[in-house]
């Protein structure tokens, strides 16, 4: 290792620990807490209820690959439920084609989702989750269509579609 590199490493390590301390209070939980006591399940209970893919999204705030969900092209009338606890979250008439590769909605069913700010990509984003079981659904942005101007960018694996 040359002198320059070791010097840089020397500076980098304390800087990173300072940053870590700074971001710690804002760091998000692995998932949000359930609002209803009966949905405060253990990791093992969630793992037994969900597919590994859905567990990763709902309970570890993962993100599925763009254009991987068949719900992207779901155009039937119906209701999108939380894949964790089956709470109805979105109505099909609020769904729109955002072109992003994730099922997108311009509004949620009132009271069905709750939000928090996350810093996973350093830039703050508004995470939202099922208000009942706390399962992570996606992120909401302010570039959606009228009348709300919102874009709920949802993981398909976190939803269960119930056609009308």
- Rounded CA separation 70/65 (Å): 12
Per the CB < 8 A criterion, the answer to whether 150 and 63 are in contact is no
The residue among 94 and 132 lying less far from Zn ion, judged by its C-beta, is 132
- Minimum distance of Zn ion from residue 34's CB (angstroms): 8
The backbone torsions φ and ψ at residue 69, rounded to the nearest 5 degrees and listed phi first, read -95, 135
Q: Residue 144 half-sphere exposure, CB side, CA atoms within 13 Å? A: 22
The backbone torsions φ and ψ at residue 152, rounded to the nearest 5 degrees and listed phi first, read -85, 110
- Minimum distance of Zn ion from residue 89's CB (angstroms): 8
- Rounded CA separation 34/55 (Å): 15
Residues that bind Zn ion (CB under 5 A): 82, 84-85, 87, 130, 132-133, 135
**Which among 66, 3, 59, 71 is positioned nearest to 29, based on CA atoms?**
59
The residue among 82 and 153 lying less far from Zn ion, judged by its C-beta, is 82
Q: Which two tokens stand for residue 57?
A: 């999204």
- Minimum distance of Zn ion from residue 60's CB (angstroms): 15
**Which among 125, 102, 128 is positioned nearest to 115, based on CA atoms?**
128
The residue among 60 and 97 lying less far from Zn ion, judged by its C-beta, is 60
Identified catalytic residue from 82, 130, 133, 153:
153
Q: Identify whether 82 is a catalytic site residue.
A: no
The residue among 113 and 153 lying less far from Zn ion, judged by its C-beta, is 113
- Minimum distance of Zn ion from residue 63's CB (angstroms): 17
Catalytic residues: 153
């Amino acid at each position: 290792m040359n002198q320059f590199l070791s010097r840089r490493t020397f500076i980098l390590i304390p800087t990173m620990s300072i940053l870590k301390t700074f971001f710690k209070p804002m760091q998000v939980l692995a998932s949000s807490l359930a609002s209803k006591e009966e949905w405060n399940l253990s990791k093992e209970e969630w793992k037994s209820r969900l597919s590994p893919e859905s567990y990763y999204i709902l309970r570890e705030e993962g993100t599925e690959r763009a254009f991987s969900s068949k719900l992207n092209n779901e155009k039937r009338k119906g209701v999108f439920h939380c894949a964790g606890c089956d709470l109805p979250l979105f109505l099909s008439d609020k769904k729109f084609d955002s072109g992003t590769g994730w099922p997108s909605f311009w509004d949620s069913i009132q009271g069905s989702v709750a939000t928090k700010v996350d810093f996973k990509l350093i830039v703050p984003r508004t995470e939202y989750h099922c208000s009942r079981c706390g399962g992570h659904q996606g992120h909401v942005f302010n570039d959606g269509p009228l009348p709300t101007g919102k874009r709920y960018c949802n993981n398909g694996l976190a939803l269960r579609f119930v056609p009308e």
